[in-house]
Structure 1
Amino acid sequence: MNKMIAAVSLVLMASVSSQLVMAHGGATGIVKERMDLMDNMKDAVKQLKAIYKGDEEYDPDTIRNAALVIRDHSGDAMSKLFPEGSLKGKSEAKPIIWQEWNRFKKLADDQEKIAQGLYNAAENQGTASGGGMMGTNTMMGQNMMDSHSMMGSGSMMGNSKHMQQNMTNPEHLGSMPSDMVFKMLTDTCSSCHTRYRKEKDK
């Protein structure tokens, strides 16, 4: 009987291990580590999207918990999993990451700060647009466009650095409506994925 239980346990363990490997296309080592990290953040973002789309009740504790997952998986925790040339196996990383390392590192660091900002803003349920969260265009998109155009203007260049710092300052972000901070967070994620991750085979 004990031998049978042991055999069944081995089969189950092998099955689970096989499923985990298949989930990442056979990735191993540091490539799998960073894929697992991305999966954890993806799950946290899904939780947040459900809230900001109105599919789930607004819950500051859920927002804070998800924000902490993203924060703790960003910054150095993320960039250390991208040692130069780690493209073996099923990696979805593009070589351009190491050609633009400072830019990639800044995005990872910004994501960490914005996630902390979302944590700080979790109680701020109001929206800038006054409408449903993420249901219509919020002021965030316009604000970002305005700030970009101002940064390109010679008369505003003196303030551009200060503005950029404010947009990733957790204390400043903590005073904003949380849906705006979440939009900034997903924009940062999207910027990184668009430039540095390979498209998945369909």
Structure 2
Amino acid sequence: MRLTADANKLGPFAFMAAVILTAAVSSAAEDVVTIRQADMKAMAAAAMTISGMFKDPSAYKASEFKWAADTIRDRSGGVLSAHFASEANNPAGPKSKAGPNILKERDRFDRIANDLRDYAAALGAAAEKNPGPMTASMRMKPGEAMGGGPFGTHVRNQQELSAMPAEHMFHLMLQTCTTCHTRFRME
């Protein structure tokens, strides 16, 4: 809503309503930024939890691993996409680091958000399959090629994903984060 000198013609109550509405829209957009930043921080903390278990397999606890994977799963996919659903959710300003191209490349952004969800769900399933200590089947073999990269391989189906070690899934998930930040985040 644009407030101009013509606002005086609206009368004092209509003008005040317009000011309040403008402030509410601005506040709602800032709230979305705050919420999505909190979700991003929760996903980063969850990824650090998983990373720590791969660095020190004796620290592996299936329930914590699954909780971390579920945290990422629950904040990615459609939830992540909804945080960037409109121009109102992407205000320009110092709080937001979202790039202006998200709406222009909506399909690509949504695919990346869904890939993140799929990798996290697969990691959660790996934890369910491995309730005891971290198994060798969860780990990548020395010298095993990761594939992927910021603009690289995408695992095309659940069968292919579930056949790979959880550590490989984790690296692909991190590469998905990197891809999104490279493409859609302003520094």
Same fold (TM over 0.5): yes
Partner Cα distance (1:51, 1:88) in 2: 38
**Which residue of structure 2 lines up, in the alignment, with residue 138 of structure 1?**
144
Task: Point out the more displaced range, 44-53 or 84-93.
Answer: 84-93
**Which residue of structure 2 lines up, in the alignment, with residue 195 of structure 1?**
183
Partner Cα distance (1:69, 1:56) in 2: 22
Return structure 1 stretches of 4+ with deviation > 6 angstroms: none
TM-score, length basis structure 2 = 0.70
**How many residue pairs get matched?**
147
Partner Cα distance (1:164, 1:178) in 2: 13
Is 2:30–2:91's contact at 8 Å kept on the other side of the alignment?
Answer: no
Q: Deviations over 1:110-167 (max 9, x none)?
A: 11111111111222732231x4xxxxx53223xx48xx6xx9xxxxxxxxxxx8422x
**Which residue of structure 2 lines up, in the alignment, with residue 165 of structure 1?**
156
Aligned partner (choices 119, 124, 132) of residue 124 of structure 2: 119
- Gap regions ≥5 residues in structure 1: 1-26, 132-136, 152-162
Please list, as runs of the form range in 1=range in 2, the aligned pairs for 1:170-189 lying within 5 A after superposition.
171-189=159-177
DSSP 3-state at the match of 1:98: coil
User: In the alignment, residue 194 of structure 1 is paired with which amino acid?
Assistant: T
Partner Cα distance (1:113, 1:68) in 2: 11
Q: Deviations over 1:64-114 (max 9, x none)?
A: 110000000001111101132222331100001111110000000111111
TM-score, length basis structure 1 = 0.65
- Gap regions ≥5 residues in structure 2: 1-28
Partner Cα distance (2:45, 2:155) in 1: 28
Aligned partner (choices 108, 112, 136) of residue 107 of structure 1: 112
**Which residue of structure 2 lines up, in the alignment, with residue 87 of structure 1?**
91
The alignment yields a C-alpha RMSD, in angstroms, of 2.3
Is 2:155–2:161's contact at 8 Å kept on the other side of the alignment?
Answer: no
| CA drift at 1:57 | 1.3
Task: Point out the more displaced range, 83-92 or 103-112.
Answer: 83-92
Partner Cα distance (2:43, 2:99) in 1: 20
Q: Deviations over 1:2-61 (max 9, x none)?
A: xxxxxxxxxxxxxxxxxxxxxxxxx93111111111011011011111111228612222
